[in-house]
Amino acid sequence: MNASGERPPRDTAWRWLGWLWLGVLTLCAVWLGWMLRHGLPADTDLTALLPADRQVPLVEAADRKLGEGFEDRFLILLRADDRVAATQALGDALETLVDGRQLARVDWRELDLADADPHDWMGPWRYRLLTPAWQQAIARDGGESLVEPALRRLFSPAARPDPVADPFGLLDAWLARQPQSPIDAADGLLTLDAQGQHYSVLIGRLAGSPYALPMQQALHATLERFQQAHPEAQLLRSGLVFHAAAGARQARHEMSTIGAASLLGVLLIIGFVFRSPRVLAQLLVPLVTGSLFALALTLGLFGRLHLLTLAFGASLIGIAIDYVLHLQCDRAIHGRAFRLRRLLPSLTLGLISSVIAYVAQALTPMPGLRQMAAFAAFGLIGAWLTVVLWLPRFKLHASPFTARLAERWWRLCQPRRRLPPWLALVLALGLIVLCTLRLTSDDSLALLNPSPAALMHDEAQVQQLLDRDTGSRYFLVRADDTQALLTRLAALDQRLDRAIAAGLAIDYQSLGRSVPSAAEQDANLARVRTLYGAPLESLIQRAGLPADLAQAARARLDDAPRLTLTDWLATPLGQLQQRLWLGQTESGEVATSVVVSGARSAAIADQLSAIANAQPGVVYVDRVARIGTLLGELRRHTAAWIAAAMALMTLALIWRYRGRAWRVVAPPFGATLIVLAVFALTGVPLNIFNQLGLLLVLGIGLDAGIFNVEYARQPSAWLAITLSTLTSLLAFGMLAFSATPALHYLGLTCLIGLASVWLLVPWVRPREPASASNAPKAPKAHSEENSHA
């Protein structure tokens, strides 16, 4: 393993450290294996990235409850000329998935969703439920104006009049105000009639997670087969399972195109330069060990891991490729004359400056950033240890070609002029001005949404056809007990009704519309008693019914029970509203949501917030805006801490390099400015993901800056810088072609940033070898090397 074949005492100590590191990693692996025996404890919920005191548990609960229907079931709308036969075919095909236990059940036949008639189960409650219009009518004239409509209703061929139980049709009037399912039955199928079209409705309930791959594949195959057999049929899909499946398919597709291209590119370049497949394996060892070390320590520290942490943390460890390449280039060129000692200061400085940036991030109050920073810092330290302790012991077949290539490449890339500091400063100031004037930001939820446009279109169309909201805007209403809650709901509903009457283009779903408070129900019963006075007698007389009927009708009012919330939620209609009910909260209160649908605008949001603020115990929540705010907060925090880390790093570098420090920071800072300026000019908005990309650019740029100044006259350093930016470009820059917005922005930043780093390095290279502080060290280091040899 030892290239020199000799074992001086210090080398033995080094060797022991290497073995110790192997022990640590083995421990990490064993511990990780034990931790992960039940799978990775990973969070996917974005809000888990935020400070704990900012997470309102009740909002989370409401989000979950409202999202349930979207997650555990799916809905397909089918339109075809031969609708009945096509639906039959698809329904039967989906039933086979139920038999195969992939789905829990499929509803598509007429009777699958048949409920009993509301007249049967709402019967005894009807005398205590009145619509506002009826309340007003009774208040106006005791209900005389309600006689004429009641008379018409009694003689309608379609009505089912019941002159004793409900001569005025109280229940029908009340039911007309309740949310109705637009899904109906026709031709023996569940049917939706909308926009002049008949759609068959097929509702599937998943047996397990929407992310289960076998189920996704079975469902996908079933639908594909159906489309092949019925090419004329139009399918509209809605449900998380379709989005999850599309995401998985896209990831697989990109892995086999973008991923394969990157890998092939890296293989070709490394193979070309080092002429040895071994180097490639050695490139991976530090990355793998670094990830292992980071995963174990981060999990140990936080207990859980966010998927975003894992994805971006693993990317950031990619900076470690620098260490490997600098080491291997130096070894390949110097052969037996290679000494780790000479490289160690720069490698260490590179590590420290990157780690400083992450430690700064780890101090932020955002758990998400802290996790990510910890993961990246541990990963870099792990990779660095592997590079320093292990790599020199691995065999490297130094090809004379590598040295020749480095020399030729070095001569080829000598710029005729250098960049004077004042020009650099002017250019930097110019770019800063450009950025402040033109740069925009975007924190919209769409960034996190990788679903293809066609599927999003389907989803929007289904929501529109079904007149269904996604539950993304709602009021959260809390109170000490159910009666207080119902009173609060009634007040909120009243405000909303007034605003709607005044032109607010929304609709809402509230339990308050269905269940009045006990006091209100008593008042309603008193109103009905008024109605059952003279107006009832007039109705009976005009309809030609026997006069003693009035007495029988009034007798029904005597033991009319109150409708409780529990009663209502158990009825078939109430079950549709169960998603609104949050029940008892941890603080002993009761809570419910009031879901808003309809038009969306900033003005409407303001008005809704104002309505909520006018009442105690009511808050307005806009899920989309909330996630946008969270993303924005995450972005601003990252930006602030990156800036702080940059300042801190600059100070450290000035302390070491004095007047040359600007040459070290020019590649990373210059590349950052170029990226931002390109974004500003082309109108690409700044978001959390391209900022994470900037972290990567900064890390690699800084390493390049340090090595560029430390080894200004060494072709091997320039070759290593070239290789490291090129391989990182291939690994991360290629992600710019991904269809997933998050990856696309990360990739785009790396593409521009890393190319800028590479282009900037030769222009700021010092003319003289090494810095003044480094000069006296060189001979000393050389003499130590000699003593080892």
Partner 1 sequence: MPQPDLAHRAHRLLSLLLACLCLAAPLSAYAFDLATLQQRLAQTPSLAGKFTQQRRLADLGTSLDSSGNFRFVRGQRVVWQLERPVEERIELTPEAIVNGSGDRTPPGGEQVARLFLQLLEGDWQALASRFEIALAGDAEAWQVTLTPKAKALRERISSIALDGGRYIDHLTLRTPGGDTLAVRLYDQHPLSGDAP
Using CB under 8 A, list all residues that contact partner 1: 110-111, 114, 116-117, 148, 151-161, 163-164, 169, 172, 175-176, 178, 180, 184-188, 193, 542-546, 549
| Residue closer to partner 1, measured from CB, 159 or 647 | 159
Q: How far is the CB of 193 from partner 1 (least distance, A)?
A: 6
Min dist CB 168 to partner 1, Å, is 13
Which residue type does 83 have?
A: R
Other CB atoms within a 10 A radius of the CB of residue 725 amount to 30
By the 10 Å C-beta count (0-12 exposed, 13-18 middle, 19+ buried), 278 is classed as middle
- Bridge partners, residue 184, by sequence: 191
Closest CA to 239 of 76, 107, 44: 76
Distance of closest approach, residue 173 Cβ to partner 1, in angstroms: 8
Q: Which is nearer to partner 1, 147 or 347 (CB)?
A: 147
Start-end of H helices in 516-660: 518-531, 534-543, 549-555, 565-570, 572-575, 602-613, 623-657
Collect all residues with Cβ–Cβ distance below 8 Å to 676 and sequence separation of at least 6.
431, 435, 439, 686
Structure tokens at 639: 């930006």
CB of 501 to partner 1, least distance (A): 18
Nearer to partner 1, 188 or 769 (CB): 188
Closest by CA to 282, choosing from 320, 337, 333, 334, is: 320
Query: Hunting for tokens 């180097």 — which residue is that?
Result: 279
> What DSSP letter does each residue of 128-172 carry, written as one string?
G---HHHHHHHHHHTTGGGHHHHHHHHT-TT----TTT-TT-HHH
Q: Which one, 125 or 390, has the nearer CB to partner 1? A: 125
Q: Residue with structure tokens 């890393």?
A: 754
Q: How far is CA 350 from CA 21, 212, 261, 710, in A?
A: 21, 43, 29, 11
Query: Between 171 and 676, whose beta carbon lies closer to partner 1?
Result: 171
d(CA 286, CA 283): 7
In the bound complex, what is the minimum distance in angstroms from residue 552's beta carbon to partner 1?
8
CB of 478 to partner 1, least distance (A): 32
CA 381 to CA 117: how far, in whole Å?
69
- Least Å from the CB of residue 172 to partner 1: 4
C-beta of 47 vs 135, nearer to partner 1: 135
DSSP states of 652-705 as a string? HHHHHHGGGHHHHHHHHHHHHHHHHHHHHHHTPPB-HHHHHHHHHHHHHHHHHH
- Nearest to partner 1 of 68, 148 (CB atom): 148
68 or 187: whose CB is closer to partner 1? 187
Phi, psi of 305 (to 5 degrees): -135, 135
CB 611 within 8 A of CB 499: yes
**In this structure, are residues 741 and 450 in contact, taking their beta carbons and an 8 Å threshold?**
yes
User: What is the rounded distance in angstroms from the CA atom of residue 714 to the CA atom of residue 758?
Assistant: 16
Q: Which is nearer to partner 1, 156 or 585 (CB)?
A: 156
What is the nearest approach in angstroms of partner 1 to the Cβ of residue 573?
11
Nearer to partner 1 (CB atom), residue 166 or residue 330: 166
Q: How far apart are CA 484 and CA 519, in angstroms?
A: 11
Question: What's the closest the beta carbon of residue 577 comes to partner 1, in angstroms?
Answer: 16
Nearest in space to 507 (alpha carbons), one of 478, 461, 467: 467
Could you tell me the smallest distance in angstroms from the CB atom of residue 542 to partner 1? 6
Query: What backbone torsions phi and psi does residue 598 show, to the nearest 5 degrees?
Result: 105, -155
Shortest distance (Å) from residue 685 CB to partner 1: 46
Would you say 148 or 606 has its CB closer to partner 1? 148
- In whole angstroms, what is the distance from residue 388 CA to residue 463 CA? 58
Query: Which residue's CB is nearer to partner 1, number 114 or number 570?
Result: 114
Shortest distance (Å) from residue 625 CB to partner 1: 34
Q: Judged by CB, which is closer to partner 1: 427, or 543?
A: 543
Taking the complex as a whole, the smallest distance from the CB of residue 521 to partner 1 amounts, in Å, to 21
Q: How far is the CB of 86 from partner 1 (least distance, A)?
A: 17
Choice between 175 and 439, CB closer to partner 1: 175
**Share of the chain residues as helix, strand and coil, in percent rounded to the nearest 5:** 70, 10, 25
Residue 169: CB minimum distance to partner 1, A = 8
255 CB-contact burial (10 Å; exposed 0-12 / middle 13-18 / buried 19+): exposed
- At position 187, the amino acid (one-letter code) is D
What do you get for the CA distance between the two ends of the chain, in Å? Answer: 16
CA–CA gap between residue 765 and residue 707 (Å, rounded) = 10
In the complex with partner 1, the residue whose CB is nearer, 113 or 781, is 113
Q: How many helices (DSSP H) and strands (DSSP E) are in the chain?
A: 32, 13
Nearest approach in angstroms of CB 139 to partner 1 is: 21
CB 117 to partner 1: min, Å = 7
- Is 1 or 114 the residue whose CB approaches partner 1 more closely? 114
CB 758 within 8 A of CB 664: no
Q: Tokens representing 41?
A: 């404890």
Please give the backbone phi and psi of residue 243, each rounded to the nearest 5 degrees, phi first.
-65, -40
Which CB atom, from 157 or from 231, has the smaller least distance to partner 1? 157
Q: How far is the CB of 594 from partner 1 (least distance, A)?
A: 22
How many other CB atoms are found less than 10 A from the CB of residue 192? 23
Cβ distance 47 to 630 under 8 Å? Answer: yes
Closer Cβ to partner 1, 34 or 155, answer by number: 155
